Amino acid sequence: MKISRELAWVVAVTASLVAAGCSKKVAKAVPPTPAPAVAPVVAQSAPPAQTPTRQPARQTPEAAAETPRYPDAATRARIDELLARIQDAYFDYDRHNLRPDAMHTLEADSKELRDIIVQYPAYKLTIEGYCDERGSAEYNLALGDARAEAAKKYLAGVGIPADQLKLVSYGKEHQVCDQHNEACWQRNRRIHIVAMALNN
């Protein structure tokens, strides 16, 4: 019969569709997207505290006032004693270079003198340069200055601050001997060191 054929065909198509549906694989469930990984928070240690750089202590006006600018009477007496022992340094005629005996004279006690003087920067020594009576006044003033300068360089070389050494030339003034012979003239060709005079 015609109806039964059509019915058979419908049943066959339906059965094939059902079979096809059953043969499909069940789709796997997609897992949810995981949350982004968060890096663990690591406690950062604070940088080590820096020790402040120690600044040199500034001298207060009170401390500066306590530092003596000039030696006391006992120290000045010691300076005078050392200068007396150093005595005068002598020069050859018409020369300003230090002779070996002059250097030996300046060397005597100069280190102790240096150790005292450097403690009192405002305190000065004066190196006086002298000549004998021969020659013009102008020439002898220049020669006396050159002799004082030679002594200053030597004393600065042993450590006495150069800015604490003043120079003065008397040329042929203030002679220690007034006879007109070589022995007397030699005594006048010299340098002499004196300490700053204080009124106390």
Residue 148 has pLDDT above 80, yes or no: yes
In percent, the amount of the chain with pLDDT more than 90 equals 54
**How do residues 57-106 score in pLDDT, each as one tens digit?**
455 555 555 678 899 999 999 999 999 888 889 999 999 999 998 888 88
Q: Which of 163, 161, 159, 70 is nearest to 110 (CA)?
A: 159
Q: Which pLDDT score, from 0 to 100, does residue 12 have?
A: 62
Q: β-strand 165-171 against 125-130: which pairing, if any? A: parallel
* Cα separation, 176 vs 189, whole angstroms: 10
The residues, any chain, with a CB within 8 Å of residue 143's CB and separated by 6 or more, are 94, 96, 129, 131, 135, 169, 171
CATH top class, domain 69-195: alpha beta
Q: Which pLDDT score, from 0 to 100, does residue 41 have?
A: 52
Task: Please state the rounded mean pLDDT for residues 16-23.
Answer: 54
Backbone CA torsion sign across 70, 74, 75, 77: positive
Higher pLDDT, 21 or 132: 132
Stated pTM of the model: 0.65
**Every domain of the chain and the residues it spans:** 69-195
Residue 195 has pLDDT above 90, yes or no: yes
Structure tokens at 139: 């020439």
Q: Which pLDDT score, from 0 to 100, does residue 140 have?
A: 97
Least-confidence region, from 17-21, 87-91, 124-128, 148-152: 17-21
Residue 26 has pLDDT above 50, yes or no: no
